[in-house]
């Protein structure tokens, strides 16, 4: 007797499988005998789709943040997302309180620790080098090992003030002193110049807002990929979408993808305002936008599952395989005309929309509003 059986689930590649869950882990992926029993059973009838649980690698879900804030479950399980990673909302001053409140969330919550002790208390958190306390960061990482999974440095002019590239140099020192934890680097307006930033990054570092439309972007005015970004990608630097309110351009994404420059991870940079008022709305909405710029459903799903788990070093997540965590997303792929907006005020027409129906976290089925309204599941 399994804890949960999901039958006739359609995968991103259109295969049909049954999945059995036991003790919070995936036990079987394949074809189960008709007589196999589960305490709870769902039959997706070959219509609804299943993947490993979606991972949003860039959110802002610390409710007490004065600038960008939300509730973890509002950007997580309520949106079909099983795991979220807060990207630098907190520094050493407030990571303890953030950790405490995430313990009651249904969503798996992790954090990139802001290298500034104040986190996102204000927009220019890296304008004072004295706020980057290397020893304090190390203590926080040790105290919250397993929750803090990386560090975050926002490298744009409004954040660093007169400090230029110095905060990133300090971030790389912190990274090297803490077992090469993932480093996520926000890129925006210069200075510092993107070439300076890219040339400091090494294998596994993550550039977020990779398709932003600002002048300091990954493409040259001629539409080719910057040489510094070419070198960084060859070294194993990763590209993350980080859509956000002001950091995603359809034009840049189309040009880059046409050049073969695909995102490693698709993330939302979601918080309450751009969730409610757009242009983000949800990770599913951001994922759906990539159908309009040339990605397939399997490619999109990989960007929020196996690729994300690898980039974030989340072992046990991101794959629909026996032995992995029973974090799953049940969703529909609806065919209907859509109009999507980017962060530049531009729109794109599409024909497909991802609609999350349920998040399964460690085997617990959590319906989204769409899942409840569809009356798909007898729970």
- pLDDT digits 0-9 by tens, 188-245: 999 999 999 999 999 999 999 999 999 999 999 999 999 999 999 999 999 999 999 9
Distance CA 60, CA 52 (A): 22
Would you say 186 is a known binding-site residue?
Answer: yes
Distance CA 304, CA 58 (A): 11
Residue 205: phi and psi, rounded to 5, are -65, 150
SS3 152: strand
Distance CA 352, CA 297 (A): 10
CA distances from 98 to 16, 55, 156 (A): 40, 19, 25
Closest CA to 159 of 130, 182, 190, 194: 190
Residue 347 pLDDT: 98
Distance CA 75, CA 354 (A): 16
Would you say 152 is a known binding-site residue?
Answer: yes
Query: Residue ranges of the chain with pLDDT lower than 70?
Result: 376-379
Would you say 58 is a known binding-site residue?
Answer: yes
Closest CA to 352 of 268, 292, 266: 292
Would you say 60 is a known binding-site residue?
Answer: yes
Residue 378 pLDDT: 58
Would you say 69 is a known binding-site residue?
Answer: no
Within 10 angstroms of residue 298's Cβ, the number of other Cβ atoms is 13
Residue 377 pLDDT: 67
Counting DSSP H helices and E strands in the chain, the numbers are 13, 15
- Cβ distance 175 to 115 under 8 Å? no
- Cβ distance 339 to 349 under 8 Å? yes
Domains of the chain: 2-51+322-374 (2.30.40.10), 53-312 (3.20.20.140)
Length in residues, the chain? 379
225 burial class (0-12, 13-18, 19+ CB within 10 angstroms)?
middle
């Amino acid at each position: 007797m399994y804890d949960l059986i999901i039958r006739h689930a359609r995968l991103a590649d259109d295969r049909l499988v049954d999945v059995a869950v036991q003790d919070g882990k995936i036990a079987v992926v394949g074809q189960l005998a008709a007589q196999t029993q589960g305490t709870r059973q769902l039959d997706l009838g070959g219509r609804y789709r299943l993947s490993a649980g979606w991972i949003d690698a860039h959110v802002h879900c610390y409710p007490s943040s004065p600038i960008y804030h939300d509730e973890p479950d509002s950007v997580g399980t309520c949106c079909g997302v099983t795991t979220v990673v807060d990207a630098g909302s907190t520094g050493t001053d407030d990571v303890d309180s953030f950790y405490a409140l995430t313990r009651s969330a249904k969503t798996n919550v992790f954090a990139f620790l802001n290298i500034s002790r104040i986190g996102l208390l204000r927009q220019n958190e890296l304008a004072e080098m004295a706020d980057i306390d290397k020893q304090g960061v190390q203590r926080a990482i040790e105290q919250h090992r397993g929750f803090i999974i990386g560090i975050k440095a926002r490298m744009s002019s409004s954040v660093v003030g007169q400090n230029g590239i110095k905060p990133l140099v300090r971030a790389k020192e912190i990274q090297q002193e803490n077992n090469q934890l993932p480093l996520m680097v926000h890129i925006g307006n210069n200075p510092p110049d993107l070439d300076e930033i890219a040339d400091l990054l090494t294998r596994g570092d993550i550039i977020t807002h990779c398709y932003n439309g600002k002048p300091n972007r990954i493409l040259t005015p001629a539409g080719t990929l910057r040489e510094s970004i070419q070198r960084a990608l060859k070294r194993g630097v990763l590209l993350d979408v980080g859509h956000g309110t002001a950091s995603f351009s359809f034009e840049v994404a189309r040009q880059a993808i046409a050049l073969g420059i695909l995102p490693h991870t698709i993330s939302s940079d979601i918080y309450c305002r751009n969730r409610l008022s757009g242009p983000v709305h949800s990770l599913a909405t951001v994922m759906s936008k990539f159908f309009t710029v040339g990605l397939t459903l399997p490619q999109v799903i990989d960007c929020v599952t196996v690729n994300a788990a690898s980039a974030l070093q989340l072992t046990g997540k991101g794959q629909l395989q026996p032995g992995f965590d029973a974090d799953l997303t049940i969703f529909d792929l609806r065919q209907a005309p859509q109009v999507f907006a980017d962060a530049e005020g531009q729109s794109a027409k599409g024909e497909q929309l991802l609609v999350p129906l349920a998040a399964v976290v460690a085997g617990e089925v959590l319906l989204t509003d769409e899942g409840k309204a569809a009356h798909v599941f007898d729970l």
